[in-house]
Amino acid sequence: MPHRMAQAARRLTRAWRRRGPAQAALVAVPLAAVLLVVALVVFLTRGEANPDEGRTPRALLPSPTAVPASTPVPPSEAPPLRLVIPKIGVDAPLEVQTVPANGAMPMPSGPEVVAWYDMSVYQPGQEHRIGFGGNAILSGHVDYINYGPAVLWDLSELQPGDEVHVHLDDGTLYRYAVVWNERWPVTAIPWDRVFELNERDAVTLLTCGGSWDGHEYSDRRAVRAERIHSPPAGAGSPLTPGG
C-alpha cells in the first residue's frame, strides 16, 4: 500500500507540470480522494494483521490466584467411648479387645458392652482403627445366659441408610450409614468380606444369629456401615466371637 501511494503522488506531480495549475487541480481533487481511501485501507489492514498489537502479552497477565486446599482434620487418637444405633435403641459402652496372632476374637465382656477389636497384632499394617479410613470391627452379644436379649438383639433390623454413631472419649463423633446387612453359617463366614478394606472409612458390627444348639449359634450376622460427613438432620480364619 505505501508503494501505491507513492506512485499516485508522482502521477499528480507530472500532471501538474504538463497541464498547468488549473488542469492539474482538476486531477488533484479526485486523486486526493483516492489517496485518502488508500490511506484508510492501509490503516485498517495494519490493524487486522496484528490484532494483539498494543495489548499486554498473555505471558505478562497476572496469574489467577490459587485457592489453597482445605486441610483435612486428622482423625482422633482418643479411645472409643460409646456405640449408638438410634433405630434399634442401642446406646452402649465400648471396650477394647485385642485379637492375638492366632486370630481368636475374644468375646465382649458382658451383655450390654460392645467390643472394638484392636487388630494390630493379628493384621499388622492394616487399618482397623475407628475413624482412620479403614474398617473397624465391633462385636456384641445377641443374647446372654441368665440375662436374655442383649445389646445387639435387634441388629437384624438395620437396613441400608440407617445410622450408626461412634463416640470417642474426647467428644469426637463419627457417623456411619449402613450399606449391607448379611448372615452366614458359622462354618462359611467370608472373613475377607468382614475384614475388607476398600478406602472408605467403615465399621463392621458382628453378632450371633440363626439357631441355638445348647452350645453356640448356627450363624453369624455382620452389618457394614460407611462414614458419612454431612451434618446430622437438624444439626487364617479367626474364631468367631460368641453370641
Q: How would you write the pLDDT of the chain (243 residues) with one tens digit per residue?
A: 555 555 555 554 554 455 554 444 444 445 455 455 445 544 445 544 454 544 444 444 445 455 444 455 688 999 999 999 999 999 999 999 999 999 999 999 999 999 999 999 999 989 999 999 999 999 999 999 999 999 999 999 999 999 999 999 999 999 999 999 999 999 999 999 999 999 999 999 999 999 999 889 999 999 999 999 866 555 444 444 545
C-alpha cell at 120: 494390630
What is the C-alpha separation between 44 and 234, in angstroms, rounded?
66
CB atoms within 10 A of CB 203: 25
What is the C-alpha separation between 201 and 73, in angstroms, rounded?
14
What is the C-alpha separation between 89 and 72, in angstroms, rounded?
32
- Amino acid code (one letter) for 121: V
Phi, psi (degrees; rounded to nearest 5) at 175: -110, 135
Enclosing H/E stretch for 237: none
Contacts of 204 by beta carbon, 8 Å cutoff, 6+ apart: 135, 136, 137, 138, 194, 195, 222, 223, 224, 225
What is the C-alpha separation between 97 and 139, in angstroms, rounded?
10
Phi, psi (degrees; rounded to nearest 5) at 26: -65, -35
Burial of 122 (0-12, 13-18, 19+ CB in 10 A): buried
Task: Tell me the whole-structure pTM to 2 decimals.
Answer: 0.68
- Match 475377607 to its residue by C-alpha cell: 192
Enclosing H/E stretch for 220: strand 217-228
